[in-house]
Structure 1
Amino acid sequence: MALAFLFALLLQRIPFVAHNFDMDVLDRMQQREVYLQEQMTKMLLEIEEEDMAQSRMDIQALLFTALPYWFVLCVFVPLFWLTWKIYKKIQGVEDGSDEESSRSEEEEEEEEDDGIFFSDMFWTIQSHQSDCEQMYSLMRCVMDVCQDMMSDTFYPVPECLIGVGSTFEGWCPVRNVPVFSLLVPLLAPRGHTFHLDLGTTGEVPATDSCIRVELECTCGREQEMRMLCFLHSSTKQLDSQEPSLLGSLCTDSYLDAEKTACWFQELICDAWNRMPVSEFTMEIDTVKSRRSCRIHVRDLDQRIFYIEFVFGVQQDDTDIFLSSHEIVARHTPSTVWPQSCVVAERKFLQYIANHAQGGSFYIRYLQLCAYLMAGLKFSIYDLKTVVMHLLTTIPLEGWHRRDFLQRMDDIVNYLSCCVEEKRLNHFMVGNDLVPEEIILPQEFRESAPLNVFQHLEEEPDKYEQAQLDVEELQDRFTSMVIYGR
């Protein structure tokens, strides 16, 4: 009972205490609360600043620790990029957005491919080209002197030289001493005419053709031509005049190739002596000059250049000449001037070079094949004939460097088939694929094709040897592809 009373008394006292609570104390408590909040905020800011400073220190320490790795990365990334670019260049992989860049990529790739199939010895063409230009320019100056010397004589008048043969065509066989062959077109002297007799066998090209020299009447033009008429002047009158061409370079009214060669040797010596002082010295090779004139000139560096002059008379306005060149494998009489296609062939190769998208790379095939055929019984002309046929049957865009293996295989297989069939057609005779730009006599275009391999049909021993040579050529080509030589 007493406890209940005490509990009731306490309940009555609590509201009384709360009611009398001091207001000053309450104010101080509120101020304390505000102060504590401010201090808490300040402490939080300080803690945050310390965390940020510590974070910066940690980042700096991390960067400093990773500095060697950054250095290695900076070195190897550019190195990797450079290596990647070099690799792309070697592979020829360049992504072009237009046709021009794509074409440039192909050219770069082709240049890289050169080193795969050709060693340094196959890159002498440019130097030969420079030598060709130098020798042609030198000999043209000599010919200018010769023309002046012959203008008032009764000897043939040399015209502008024509570079012919493998050296001037750009594919002189590797390791062969280049011979600069020059065709000297001859004009009949005043009071004379040249008549071309194309022989009696009916062969095309003719191998027994001759140049008949005839005198023409100059009566009424004697003063203009500064000569007496050989036909209608007396013997006594003609004693004061030099003899006609019939009495100097002819045999039985036909121009003699051997006499012409001897005359030209003397002429070129006289012309050389009249030349201004030159850096070259000249010597004539009389041993090998039966139907041509062979000289060699030496420059200040003691380099020797071999030059051969072959004489010819143009057939009408065509690219065919009656030439003094020797017929291979048989004796050529001195009065015989076989029909020659050397000018037409060079003109054809120039035509191909002008129209081929791959430039003049096709001459590498000629040069390389001539190298592979060294020592075999096939002639250089056989090779040239095969390549000329293929140049007119395979599109010219297929003669790029990238087509090297396929084209070389085509050349070898074409020659092999020709040997097997014992037939290789002459390129300039009866061939409808010869461009119209090559000016040929009508009989060349209308004649039946001429078999260059006729001897294989007639002589079994030569046929067997040709088969062996084809096998050897195929082996050499395979060895070159595998071993690079």
Structure 2
Amino acid sequence: MALGLFRVCLVVVTAIINHPLLFPRENATVPENEEEIIRKMQEHQEKLQLEQLRLEEEVSRLVAEKEALQQAEEEGQQQSEAHTAWDLWSTLCMILFLIIEIWRQDHQDGPFPECLGGDEDELSGLGGSPLRGLPLPNKATLGHFYEHCIRSATGDATRTREFVEGFVDDLLEALRSVCNRDTDMEMEDFIGVDSMYENWQVERPLLCQLFVPFIPPEPYSFHPELWCSSLSVPLDRQGYGQIKVTLADGDPLGCICDKTKLGEDMLCLLHGRNSGVQPSGGGSHEMEDLLCSRESSYLDAMQVMKWFQVALTRAWHRISHKYEFDLAFGQLDTPGSLKIKFRSGKFMPFILTPVIQCNDSDLFFIPQLPKEPCRGTPASSTDWLLSFAVYERQFLRMTAKALPEGACHLSCLQIASFLLSKQSRLTGPSGLSNYHLKTALLHLLLSRRAADWKGSQLDVRLQELFCFLERSLLEKKLHHFFVGNRKVPEAMGLPEVVRRAEPINLFRPFVLQRTLYRSTVDSFYEMLKNAPTLISEYSLHVPSDHASPPPKAVAL
């Protein structure tokens, strides 16, 4: 604008300066009359007006261009400000979504809405809960089924436990007698765990699972190393740990086989075939593989199981003459699985597992590899599975004291386990196990009021348990009840390092194995679909073997 005005002023000044009336040229002649002068002045004025119009048009054009440029700059600035505001809004929205997600995960084990109600949340991905179309039998039918098919079938559980415990006591005493206390592992008293000792087992035959803690001979000691004590542990190793064998004073491993005379059939637990050390008894048997992993001071789970099986065999041979039955190893894929075989053809299975206590807690490391595909497998034989079985039993006992008399929490678990067992026999095993059912129940027990577990609420709580499992399957997320769960009462005495650890997703294999996930979901809905018919049929036809007592042993 200023440049255009300057140009106009310059043209005007130039025109005035060059006007012939003000500064006449030297060779110019004065016009002869006034009319001629006026005519020339008018012509010159017209030229000046034309030039002024041209300059005004040019100035207008320049002003328009400048205004357009300024407008473009203002629009660009507004767009930039709007983009900045949008980025800020997007960031705030993202932060808000993260806060909501964190809150949802922290409260995901809270009370869950009833699947049969009308105000509950819809499950993602299915446009509504499929359980709405798969109702379970009514309260009366469930009550009749439980009383005649489950309660009566588990009535002999106490006698079964007493028989197995008496035999195991005798077997462990014989095992201690054949072991050298100076060079062999020392066995402690057994601990009953799992459904048989939590009073909810329904599968036949009844199965007792017993932990047998063992400690090394002096001067050795075990030092457990949890996965959560390391900063970076692969996801497939979560829930496992390793056990380092050291001297009591922390020195590197040594051996006392050259200092203490071993028995004729005793084995050194710390040396291998290539160590060059022979037992002092002069026997011809070569040394068994060492219990520690080769070239490592970490305890090898498979070597421990081999040693334990050999020790049990020797102990049984010592007392077998007292009984009128045989003892054999059971399932090959379950180390520690034993079977009492009676002459009548009947048998009684039980599992005797050597375990190592984790420091002074009720956590135990077990060498038994999980059979369920959804539990995963250890990366190496030095990885031991961390078991919370004792804590689970204690939590159920502690919770039962606060629940109303005749509470339905174990009834829900028994019915769900019964349906899962029948479905597995019908279509084969899936990724869903009894351990997942119990985990879901523990989460519900922690989130529900005690009054919600009255016996009259059996049908509602059972429906809620299946809703919880359905939601967990659809989200492929079922958190371990104890690991990383700070809502667990401190009275349980759970180690703080476990309470503060990152939660373990028991359904993580479903994320990696799509075929397993699809088959598990299909099997789950098929189980719910078959539940009404199955419960009705079993309510009318109670299997005769449910009422038969366990066989008794006869000592000679």
The match for 1:263 is 307
Q: CA deviation at 1:346?
A: 1.9
> Secondary structure at 2:245's aligned position in 1?
strand
Please give the alpha-carbon distance, in whole angstroms, between the structure 2 residues aligned to 1:155 and 1:457: 44
After superposition, the CA RMSD in angstroms is 3.5
Identical residues among aligned pairs (%): 22
Contact 1:217/1:231, CA 8 A, preserved across alignment: no
Q: 2:462 and 2:258 mapped to 1: Cα distance?
A: 69
Shift of 1:366: 1.5
Cα deviation for residue 296 of structure 1 reads: 1.3
Does the 8 A contact of 1:213 with 1:246 survive in 2? no
Please state how far the C-alpha of 1:276 moved relative to its aligned partner.
8.3
Q: How does 1:121-160 map to 2 (within 5 A)?
A: 121-150=150-179, 152-160=181-189
CA contact (8 A) 1:297 1:304 kept: yes
**Do 1:249 and 1:255's aligned partners in 2 also have CA atoms closer than 8 Å?**
yes
Between the two structures, name the one with larger relative contact order (CA 8 Å, sep ≥ 6): 2
Pairwise CA distance, 1:447: 2.1
Q: In 2, distance between residues paired with 1:468 and 1:230?
A: 52
Compared CA separation, residues 278 and 477, structure 1 to 2 (3 A) = same
- Normalising by the residue count of structure 1, what TM-score does the alignment of the two structures yield? 0.66
- How much has 1:315 moved relative to structure 2? 0.8
The answer to which of 275-284 and 135-144 deviates more is 275-284
Does 2:505 correspond to 1:471?
A: no
**Do structure 1's residue 362 and structure 2's residue 409 form an aligned pair?**
yes
Is contact 1:312-1:323 (8 Å) kept? Answer: yes
Q: What is the aligned partner in structure 2 of residue 184 from structure 1?
A: 212
- Per-residue CA distance 1:244-282 (angstroms, 9 max, x = gap): 532242223222222222222232233234338644523
Q: How many pairs does the alignment contain? A: 364
Distance 2:537 2:333 in 1: 41
- Alpha-carbon distance in structure 1 between the residues aligned to 2:249 and 2:145: 67
CA deviations on 1:320-369 (whole Å, 9 max, x unpaired) are: 11111203435543322121112221222222333333357532221210
Match of 2:352 among 294, 309, 324: 309
**In the alignment, what sits opposite 1:349?**
396
Q: 1:198 and 2:226 equivalent? A: yes
Match of 1:408 in 2: 462
Given that residues 217 and 232 in structure 1 are in contact (C-alpha distance below 8 angstroms), is that contact kept between their aligned partners in structure 2? no
State the shift of 1:444 in Å. Answer: 1.7
SS in 1 for 2:384: coil
**Structure 2: runs of 5 or more not aligned:** 1-138, 272-289, 540-556
1:213: which partner in 2?
Answer: 245
**Amino acid of the structure 2 residue aligned with 1:193:** S
Compared with structure 1, are the counterparts of its residues 344 and 240 closer, same or farther at alpha carbon in structure 2 (3 Å cutoff)?
closer
**Distance in 1 between residues matched to 2:443 and 2:255, nearest whole Å:** 53
Partner of 2:505: 451
* Cα pair distance change 1:217/1:458, threshold 3 Å: closer
Structure 1 pair 301/146, CA: closer, same or farther in 2 (3 Å)? same
Alpha-carbon contact 1:129-1:170 (below 8 Å) kept: no
* d(CA) in 2 for partners of 1:408, 1:232: 56
Q: Separation in 2 of the partners of 1:232 and 1:299?
A: 43
In structure 1, list runs of 5 or more residues that go unmatched: 1-109, 220-228
Deviations 1:418-449 (A, max 9, x none): 22222211111122332334232212211233
> Against the structure 1 CA distance between its residues 278 and 111, is the aligned structure 2 distance closer, same or farther, given a 3 Å change threshold?
farther
State the match for 1:250 in structure 2.
292
3-state DSSP of counterpart to 1:255: coil
1:441 corresponds, among 487, 492, 495, to 495
Question: 2: distance between equivalents of 1:232 and 1:216?
Answer: 13
CA distance 1:145–1:481, change in 2 (3 Å): closer
Give the conservation status (yes or no) of the 8 Å contact 2:149–2:538.
no
> Residue 464 and residue 356 in structure 1: after superposition, are their counterparts in 2 closer, same or farther (change >3 A)?
same
Aligned partners of 2:193 and 2:389 also within 8 Å: yes
Q: Corresponding residue for 1:338? A: 385
1:418 aligned residue: 472
In 2, the alpha carbon distance for the partners of 1:148 and 1:457 equals 49
1:69-84 equivalences under 5 Å are: none
| 113 and 366 in structure 1: CA distance in 2 versus 1, 3 angstrom threshold | closer
